[in-house]
Chain A
């Protein structure tokens, strides 16, 4: 009869022996390797021209309607910030309701429902900056997701699987740009996905379509003839928070040093 000791030893050996070849199957999944090497498709990027944005907030409205983000909820996939730099060197920033209704007040929103009035004579410069998910090349949100519900497609867009997200909020914490939030209806992590359902069909994103001033554009970085790619390659563009090493893929024209 087999002794308990030898039974334990042998079953450990068999389990270990089985585990090694099985893990190799996962390591060398040819389909996955091919998908990772695939650089023939598109690489979606975004171009924001801050010199053209007037802060009307149509893009925010358009995005909310297109992407089923509740209209009155105080979260948004994209927003517009207003910057007012006064002559004393101070920077005043606000984005009431993400600028969904534009900027109806002249005063700067400083929270608690209070407004800070700034005299016209004190203003040195003022401008608007639209923000959205940067679809980073090195996305920290994908890195930190404990179940892989946030993932990056081969064409560079970071997506969230709503049926898989556990709602821990680690990705929200990991994003330096504050673009992520919990969807008030689905209770999972939510973010801008460059209107993936539209751009993959050759359409423009909802915010690009809503912008009457051409301040927002979406393009394919792997197509040298793409007008957006040409701007990024030939003009002086900038990105947000480069110091985090996330390699953001939303490029800005006319970015000012005050932008946070």
Chain B
């Protein structure tokens, strides 16, 4: 069977070689990359612009951004027909291609986040290594931990006040340098689509900007949601631990800290949402107003075939409803959680409508293609590019975050 045939249904006249070649993994790719960029921008709001209220979530989102980073690559690898050759994009990039920028932008961004994390957690590394060093007769596990943390200090054991202040300055500089790189990381993902002149839906210079704005929206939303979830777990843990250690923060303290951070962050979420929706609507109105040759088929896809996906799920459920939820005064944690889930759904649907919607019509402008998402896999292909493949991509960052949190505890200060 030809690649794409398993999930493509054709209607009217399409060219014989046309199938839905870019599937759910290519939807996941900009979605995950967007989360990386968005989480980083959120952490930078505190580190660079000094938004003190976001201190609570800044570290959290920085570590989360780092956990998401390797996962941005995963959907691409799962989508490639020759995954073993994927490294060639890094090794022998052909610079006229937008994808070739991947290696450079991705590794630059990775290095910036890694070094920023190092400066943020250096004190913790040194302290942990020193405390483990002091332990007489270390167990094998402790010895391993000691080695790990000693290596992580990279030989910089100085945690005097001056040294830590220098660290702070370095963090600020790195975060500042990271913002354009994060935007570029996602902007070029938009450029990959926006520069495909053969596709009438993708072909717009607005695409990178639309992608950046919705990336920040999705990144902030995921950070809020994960923050709420982790805080819930911590509250439950705190209740149990407080019996033994009364000096730990009480549930009420944690609760008020949580509510405060969530309310503050939601305001930034709303700001970026307005920007993202404005740009998307501008693009839509502009296409209708100029009504070039492709508008006929685009209109039938946007207003008829994909109406539910675009206007009901994406704009209605994913934008309008959370917008109202966040605007109603007295934001509660539960409402924020529902709102952020809907925002994430909206951003995911935006990616879906761009990637899948862009392939829903033939280049001949005379036929349509319908994508049937493979649920139960019957081959490696339908596993990788189906529902379960997407689920793997969605779950992995949380596993990485769990491991990273063991080395770089995001809530340490409040302990």
> Residues of A within 8 Å of B, CB-based: how many?
49
CB proximity to B under 8 Å, residues A105-163: 110-112, 131, 140, 142-148
Of A93, A140, A148, A182, which contacts B2 at CB under 8 A? Answer: A182
Known A-B contacts A112-B11, A146-B102, A260-B366; the reply to A176 vs B198 at CB < 8 A is yes
In Å, the complex CA distance between A34 and B391 comes to 51
Of B76, B92, B99, B362, which contacts A144 at CB under 8 A? Answer: B99
The chain B residue with its CB closest to the CB of A99 is B16
- Of B15, B17, B80, B89, the most chain A CB neighbours within 10 A belong to B17
Question: Is B198's CB under 8 angstroms from A188's CB?
Answer: no
CB neighbours (8 Å) of A177 from chain B are 15, 363
Of B17, B86, B92, B198, which contacts A140 at CB under 8 A? Answer: B198
CB distance from B2 to the nearest CB of A (A): 5
CB neighbours (8 Å) of B362 from chain A are 178
CB neighbours (8 Å) of B21 from chain A are 169, 172-173, 182
In Å, the complex CA distance between A66 and B303 comes to 44
CB distance from A110 to the nearest CB of B (A): 5
Q: Flag whether B165 is at the interface (Cβ < 8 A).
A: no
Question: Is A76's CB under 8 angstroms from B17's CB?
Answer: yes
CB distance from A82 to the nearest CB of B (A): 10
The chain A residue with its CB closest to the CB of B19 is A181
In Å, the complex CA distance between A145 and B365 comes to 25
CB neighbours (8 Å) of B80 from chain A are 166-168
The 0/1 profile, CB within 8 Å of A marked 1, for residues 101-130 of chain B is: 010000000000000000000000000000
Q: Flag whether A75 is at the interface (Cβ < 8 A).
A: yes
Q: Flag whether A87 is at the interface (Cβ < 8 A).
A: no
Known A-B contacts A95-B16, A181-B2; the reply to A176 vs B363 at CB < 8 A is yes
CB neighbours (8 Å) of B12 from chain A are 110-111
CB neighbours (8 Å) of A71 from chain B are none
CB neighbours (8 Å) of B19 from chain A are 181
CB neighbours (8 Å) of A176 from chain B are 197-198, 363
The 0/1 profile, CB within 8 Å of A marked 1, for residues 78-98 of chain B is: 011110011011001110111
Question: Is A93's CB under 8 angstroms from B13's CB?
Answer: yes
CB distance from A48 to the nearest CB of B (A): 16
Q: Flag whether A213 is at the interface (Cβ < 8 A).
A: no
The chain A residue with its CB closest to the CB of B100 is A146
CB neighbours (8 Å) of A131 from chain B are 15
Q: Flag whether B244 is at the interface (Cβ < 8 A).
A: no
Of A93, A147, A178, which contacts B93 at CB under 8 A? Answer: A147
Known A-B contacts A184-B2, A184-B3, A260-B366; the reply to A170 vs B16 at CB < 8 A is no
CB neighbours (8 Å) of B250 from chain A are none
Known A-B contacts A110-B11, A111-B12, A168-B80; the reply to A74 vs B5 at CB < 8 A is yes
CB proximity to B under 8 Å, residues A69-83: 73-76, 79, 81
Q: Flag whether B186 is at the interface (Cβ < 8 A).
A: no
Question: Is B88's CB under 8 angstroms from A168's CB?
Answer: no
The chain B residue with its CB closest to the CB of A98 is B16
Question: Is B96's CB under 8 angstroms from A143's CB?
Answer: yes
Known A-B contacts A74-B2, A110-B12, A260-B365; the reply to A181 vs B17 at CB < 8 A is yes
Question: Is A146's CB under 8 angstroms from B93's CB?
Answer: yes
CB distance from A105 to the nearest CB of B (A): 15
Question: Is B96's CB under 8 angstroms from A167's CB?
Answer: no
Known A-B contacts A140-B198, A146-B100; the reply to A166 vs B93 at CB < 8 A is no
CB neighbours (8 Å) of B11 from chain A are 110-112
The chain A residue with its CB closest to the CB of B12 is A110
Q: Flag whether B70 is at the interface (Cβ < 8 A).
A: no
Q: Flag whether B367 is at the interface (Cβ < 8 A).
A: yes
Q: Flag whether B249 is at the interface (Cβ < 8 A).
A: no
The 0/1 profile, CB within 8 Å of A marked 1, for residues 147-179 of chain B is: 000000000000000000000000000000000
4 tightest Cβ-Cβ pairs between the two chains A and B? A167-B81, A178-B15, A146-B99, A148-B94
Can you sample 20 A-B contacts with CB below 8 Å?
A74-B5, A75-B16, A93-B13, A95-B15, A111-B10, A144-B98, A144-B99, A146-B102, A147-B94, A166-B81, A167-B80, A168-B99, A169-B79, A173-B196, A173-B198, A175-B198, A176-B198, A180-B17, A184-B2, A260-B366
